[in-house]
Amino acid sequence: MTLDATAARQSDAELYISRLFDAPRALVFEAWTKPEHLNRWCCPKGFTLPFSEGDIRTGGSFKTCMRSPEGQDHWLSGTYREITPPERLVFTHAWHDENGTPGHETVVTVTLKEEGGKTRLTLQQAFFVTKASRHGHEEGWNETLDNLADYLAALSG
């Protein structure tokens, strides 16, 4: 396998998203780690969270149900591997099948850096089994981060 083929395979298996939020880093971190914030924005556009529970600490776990606009429930869970205020979160992410069994697990790393009074969020998720899965997560995370931007703007306004 050539180096180019290896790089292409890695890019198919990993997702990187970077966003600049007009909010202080401490507030963005709280939005990710306080349930009263997290449950108001953390799903794609049009989805709701009929169930969400979590122990947001290193070693803690979470379980969430996201309901699509069509009424379909999507369950996921994971474990927090690292929480370093106010700059970094690392957690696992696994969708559940129709029997409630978690499937393939990916690792999500969220890094927050101050940038001129704003916050640069970088999200990395790895490793996906298929390019289609990575693409679906990219769409979902981008919509979710749009919700976060709207939520932070409402808090500031």
Question: For the residues of 80-97, what is the DSSP string, one character each?
Answer: EEEEETTTEEEEEEEEE-
Q: What is the pTM of this model?
A: 0.92
Up-side HSE of residue 14: CA atoms within 13 Å toward CB?
A: 12
Q: How confident is the model at residue 25 (pLDDT cuts 50, 70, 90)?
A: very high
Indicate the DSSP class of residue 98.
T
Kindly report, residue by residue over 133-156, the tens digit of the pLDDT: 999 999 999 999 999 999 999 998
Q: How far is CA 11 from the centre of its chain?
A: 18
Domains (range + CATH), the chain: 14-156 (3.30.530.20)
Give dist(CA 112, CA 157) in Å, integer.
22
Q: How many CB atoms lie within 10 A of CB 83?
A: 18
